[in-house]
Chain A
Amino acid sequence: SQQGEEDPQALSIQEGENATMNCSYKTSINNLQWYRQNSGRGLVHLILIRSNEREKHSGRLRVTLDTSKKSSSLLITASRAADTASYFCARDTGRRALTFGSGTRLQVQP
């Protein structure tokens, strides 16, 4: 994608393990957001991190942001089968709309 990349494209883990997905981008941002999409559904906002923040937590989610490397990571701890979904990072660059990546498809095996 010209806007950045997410990796891995797909991730399969066992219940209880941690899942880490990464997002890189190319332009400066106001904030970076992570969304979740269950199969065949719309996206749901999970967490937002501002450009002047380095780390943020919400429940089992931990997001980091490194603006010097233009990258972010989402960590889901103690994963559950219900966490199976696609996860997208979205960059707010102050343009007309968020710019979404191609997503990481997470499969959590029970």
Chain B
Amino acid sequence: EADIYQTPRYLVIGTGKKITLECSQTMGHDKMYWYQQDPGMELHLIHYSYGVNSTEKGDLSSESTVSRIRTEHFPLTLESARPSHTSQYLCASSASTGLDIQYFGAGTRLSVL
């Protein structure tokens, strides 16, 4: 079982609300990632980080932002949620050395009404 945790697991909110999805890992991994996944579909990389104070946008355009102030913590924020943001958000981490095996959290399923 991977030591990477996401909260909340489920979130239902109204349009226009600001939300933060939390992700924490206790493995000391430098690399962390956020993916967006619609049910039964492929994963799309939306943000990644190679270490503290390092964040980059991924392949899928996203209106979310991330921060990496501590190694173990990589929160994702939506300033103004919209129904198009309804999806599952998966956080992952990997070590910076060796093979790039990713460890995933259980995910946050977001519904924006």
Given A100-B42, A103-B42, answer yes or no on A42-B101 (Cβ-Cβ < 8 Å): no
Given A1-B42, A43-B90, A103-B42, answer yes or no on A98-B102 (Cβ-Cβ < 8 Å): yes
Residues of A contacting B88 in the complex (Cβ-Cβ under 8 angstroms): 40
Residues of B contacting A103 in the complex (Cβ-Cβ under 8 angstroms): 40-42
Given A41-B107, A45-B102, answer yes or no on A86-B40 (Cβ-Cβ < 8 Å): yes
Task: State whether A48 touches B99 (Cβ < 8 A).
Answer: yes
Confirm or deny: A88 has a beta carbon within 8 angstroms of a beta carbon on chain B.
yes
Task: State whether A102 touches B41 (Cβ < 8 A).
Answer: yes
Residues of B contacting A97 in the complex (Cβ-Cβ under 8 angstroms): 33, 45, 48, 58, 100, 102
Confirm or deny: B106 has a beta carbon within 8 angstroms of a beta carbon on chain A.
yes
Tell me, rounded to whole Å, the shortest Cβ–Cβ distance linking B5 to chain A: 10
Q: How many A residues are at the interface, by size bracket? A: 20 to 34
Tell me, rounded to whole Å, the shortest Cβ–Cβ distance linking A46 to chain B: 10
Q: How many B residues are at the interface, by size bracket? A: 20 to 34
Confirm or deny: A44 has a beta carbon within 8 angstroms of a beta carbon on chain B.
yes
Task: State whether B104 touches A44 (Cβ < 8 A).
Answer: yes
Given A31-B99, A48-B101, answer yes or no on A41-B106 (Cβ-Cβ < 8 Å): yes
Residues of B contacting A86 in the complex (Cβ-Cβ under 8 angstroms): 40
Extra pairs beyond A41-B106, A96-B45, A97-B33 (19, CB < 8 Å): A1-B42, A40-B109, A42-B4, A42-B90, A42-B106, A43-B104, A44-B104, A45-B101, A45-B102, A45-B103, A48-B99, A88-B42, A88-B43, A92-B100, A96-B56, A97-B48, A100-B42, A102-B41, A103-B42
